[in-house]
Structure formats: C-alpha cells, structure tokens
Structure 1
Amino acid sequence: MSLKVKDRFFSALLGAASAYAVYVQYFAPIQIRQQVPYVWGLVLVVVFLFLRMSQPGQDFIVYVKQARAELRKVVWPQSSEVMSATTAVGIAVAIFSILVSLLDSMLSGLLAKIIG
C-alpha cells in the first residue's frame, strides 16, 4: 500500500496543523493563545482538504457512507423491549448476588469451623 506524494503531503500537513493547534492551545505564551480559534479553523480547513484530495481521505468518506448504510438496516428495539430486557437483567443480577453472598457466608463459616 504505497501512498502517493500528495497523500503523504496532506497527511503530514494534517499532523503538523494538529500538533501546532495543540501547542497553541495548551503550551504557547499568552500572546499567541489569542489565535486559538484561527488555528483550529486552519485544522478544519486542512481536514477538509485531506478528506477531499487524498486517497486515505476518500477511503474514509466511503467507509463512513457504508457505515451509515449499514446502520439504516439495523432493526432497533422498541422501548418496551429494552425496559423488559433491562428488568430481567436486573432481577438476574440481584438473584445471583444473593446466591453468591449466601455461598460466601456458608463457606466462610465452614472455613472458620475448620480452622478453629
């Protein structure tokens, strides 16, 4: 998978712009920190260029479109189904917690009798 020079350039530009934006926001002197909105705007422009003009950006756009298409195929449960499943899980957790607590106390008592 060989990246073209254009793809490498946009990847490097995106990395440099992001690193500079983090520097300006968190580590730069106070005078430079006033430029934070402009620097993050520059990052957004570089992201847009990366997505539109590089092959990895195009691949990412295709991936997002395919993911959205798959999400549209999902049959989401009704709220009543979610509530009944949540209630069943809660009851099961409560029952198993009680059983484990009883088993623990019985085994602790048995171990106390054995040890002395």
Structure 2
Amino acid sequence: MQALVQKYGQGHVLVVGGKDRKSAHVAQGYGFQKISTPDDILAWNPSVWPFSRPSSSSNPSQDYSQVPIDAILMFHDSWNWGRDLQVIIDLLLSKERVMGRYTAGTNGQSLPLYFSNPDI
C-alpha cells in the first residue's frame, strides 16, 4: 500500500478493514492525506447500511454525495463485512466515484480497488 502513496497520497482514499480507525492511522502514517472509512460514510448517511450504527470514532467530515473517492484500499479483513461490501459496491457502481450517483449501464470500472492480501 505504501507504494500507492505516490499516486494517491494527495487524493481521497477509502480505507477499508481493521478495527475502528486503525487501518486509517496506518494509511496516514504511510503518507495518505485524505482518508475516509466505511464507518465515516455510515455516519454521514445511516441508510447506506441500516443494520449497524457508526462507531464513536467515525469522522463524517465530507458530503460523500459531492466528494469523489480516488481509490479504495483494503488494508485488512473487515470487522463489518456487510457494511463494507455495501459501501464498496455502491462506490464501484457509482457515477463520478461518489455515493448515491449510480450508473445505468456498465462502462467498466472507473474506481481502482486494491487489496493488501490476495486472500481477502
């Protein structure tokens, strides 16, 4: 993941996996500057995944319907697979890489998705 800092360090990345914001803190240590988590998106809009509540460590500082995500980085196994997969799929199907704007057809993947382990 650290090798991706050159490409996405100034961009907005969604960091997935791990407990609370631990993976986000690792990403920040690598040099990523604009980091969001699925929990942040849930705190922004609880209807994204109505089966759980955001944690107290969430930071909904963005309007995710307006701010594009430049890459999804899966650092670790998820603690909430349902929520995280829902957010990832919503973003992969989105128009302009923002939450809530879905494409009508398949025009190919416009949002890169990176996994830290081949078994995730």
Higher strand share: 2
Higher normalized contact order (CA 8 Å, seq sep 6+, divided by chain length): 2
Q: Normalising by the residue count of structure 1, what TM-score does the alignment of the two structures yield? A: 0.23
Q: Which of 1 and 2 has greater Rg?
A: 1
Higher helix share: 1
